[in-house]
Structure 1
């Protein structure tokens, strides 16, 4: 056993009296250590708090979270308090599920480790979208996470699925807790220690925006030219950079903290390749939102923008790299080869009825798919396993694609010459500009060049 607080073979007991046996140390963090344990129901994980942090307030927070009985598979939620029945090991911990091996931490992505080499632009944007939706769900229950940072999110590089860990600091918005956040991610008012400022959903929005910027840009939004002038990045320097004098590196009104060529090549390149719809949201939250919390971008805004960008990702015909494109915007130059990206036709999906109809466009590149969330007005969650239709290549005519019905329902196709065709499950329809598809339930789509 590697210097853990608990010993291998040590028996712990849950509040219900069930025994669990310590197997091995997974790792440690700022609040405690995580162990694999054997239970009558299979392997689980236990987070055991450092003695100085295992106080009555943390126990109260923990029991409140357990009482919520969170069943969302995007969260490793506390399940029950565990203790040492012999009292040889003072304090307490909590039981949770073991993190599946397919999930990797974000630092592995920032380091470009081989373990996350499968990450594509699509999965990166999908991970950002899933992250937003996970915290949106938490906030909609009135719960503030309070410590959103790069160490609490794990992602699957193949699918973009995310897993939120270290959920034991989340509290009902407005309640007090010991943890205020990680300074690099904390809202400026918390860093400064403004009177009356406390961690909550509003400060979570700042932390979420920092996390999204890091995820998409691989760089901190406030770390530009000014940081290079700091000889010692101690707490006082961080307090100035993140609290008293924060300045967005791409603030349109103040260029004093711009990234420096040669020193910050990654963020310079990635910002240039970012669609305007996302750039505008980052500018809003890191300019007006720095001083006015109510101006911070909401989760629903991030969700809608990321979803639209994901649907507009297009493969460069010259080099085969994926490119983010501005929805309904002009063709960009490929970030890799510099050639103009050839935009494929777009499927404009219309949902809802009357004046409240919602429109979203899907670029029909060879990897495009139509998902169940495309067919509803306001999807609660984007599920990329629920495929309704996908682009498939003609078996005899290379380079010619159609949309194959992967649903269990029959589609109706109306061509501009007035002819009507039924497209059953497993059948494919050739896509031409002007073609109208009816998916059922009032949802329809039209192909645009």
Structure 2
């Protein structure tokens, strides 16, 4: 594969660091990406095609670099690079191999789990929330700009050279399928920003959880040629949610679009309520779109309520707080709801409900009322459910923190649970987790 830059080409970043091109990694719509050697290790260099190397794009890149946005969920531009002929690009970290693009997921070419998908949705919401909190609008949230780890749900946001300061009207408006209706129509005064990002974010979340676009029902099937005019009608001029409770003119075809019918039917009501709100009133009034904090709270609650089917082992999303779980989406067997660990945080008090399935875990973010970031990795593990090594079916909660707990049984007796120790799981057990209080409750 040959590109614009030859192997061995020497460039200098704006911070004075020498950059040597070693190989071409790939190409996209705006430019090519190369592996380069720097004094701080190998990096990736995005180099713009001449047609995209406009003064406007150059200014955007320089502004993004100057912001010095340090967040491991973003492949953020870290240095601006230019050559003597006027070409330019920027340095960023190299993409780790465990992260995959989303189109293969939607084509069912990647294996993952409901827990990983919910985690990916939660992490995506928080990543864009972090960006928005710094006054930056992404403007092109879509399936092409997010990568995820199918095993853990961790995400990376790439192509961050689309982002601009809120209110800046320069650059692109987004990808048609994901653009807010007012941008598709070209309404007077409509411009890409955090409000339009909220629509794009909801489309992406719907596709991750339902494997289908929220506005593509019978109307999309009836279109013979999905050209720009047809897309503008579908996504902008006459957008209609496929599960609009008051209008079924764009309902999914049960034969051609049966997957989304099934996934929607087994989705928890808490998620369906947010999607319905965003793709009905939110389609027409940008000011009432679902905020990142609303998505965050519901996604966390649903993720903590996932249970494993006792018959086939498949993971099932359940409605948080429900006492009746229904049947498994895979084998139709009756689901059994395990006990819950209800964690009450210090002030301002909040409750987190965690279903104690066989592999249940408690993380640091469960112990605080408003975590700035959720993290379900081993690094934040506080407690986990473990099975007794000699008594199958008997479980306990193992202390994986660095603090001792105080456990109070239903008869009022207490015990200390040191780090590494396990307390037997019984209904009514109360735990002081070092500030947060927890109680085990049967469903």
Instruction: Give the TM-score category using the shorter length.
Output: over 0.9
Residue from 192, 196, 199 that aligns with 2:189 = 196
Distance 1:234 1:397 in 2: 63
**Equivalent position of 1:317 in the other structure:** 310
What TM-score do the two structures reach when normalised by structure 2? Answer: 0.97
**Equivalent position of 2:12 in the other structure:** 13
Residue from 87, 93, 97 that aligns with 1:91 = 87
Contact 1:370 1:389 in 2 (8 A): yes
Deviates more, 1:46-55 or 1:202-211: 46-55
Q: 1:377 Cα shift?
A: 0.4
Q: 1:19 Cα shift?
A: 2.3
Deviates more, 1:4-13 or 1:156-165: 4-13
2:236 aligns to what SS in structure 1? helix
Matched, 1:439 2:433: yes
Q: 1:146 Cα shift?
A: 0.5
* Within-5 A mapping of 1:415-426: 415-426=409-420
Distance 1:216 1:206 in 2: 16
Unaligned runs of 5+ in 1: none
**Equivalent position of 1:34 in the other structure:** 33
Q: 1:21 Cα shift?
A: 1.6
Distance 1:30 1:292 in 2: 32
* Within-5 A mapping of 1:168-207: 168-207=161-200
What TM-score do the two structures reach when normalised by structure 1? Answer: 0.96
2:397 aligns to what SS in structure 1? strand
* Within-5 A mapping of 1:8-407: 8-85=7-84, 87=85, 90-113=86-109, 116-117=110-111, 119-329=112-322, 330-353=324-347, 356-385=348-377, 386-407=380-401
Distance 2:195 2:263 in 1: 27
Q: How many residues align?
A: 439
2:115 aligns to what SS in structure 1? helix
Distance 1:67 1:73 in 2: 17
Distance 1:391 1:215 in 2: 28
Contact 1:11 1:84 in 2 (8 A): no
1:108 aligns to what SS in structure 2? helix
Contact 1:348 1:446 in 2 (8 A): yes
Q: 1:53 Cα shift?
A: 1.8
Unaligned runs of 5+ in 2: none
Q: CA RMSD in A?
A: 1.0
1:314-371, Cα deviation, whole Å (9 max, x unpaired): 0010111100000011212110011221000011110123xx4211100000010000
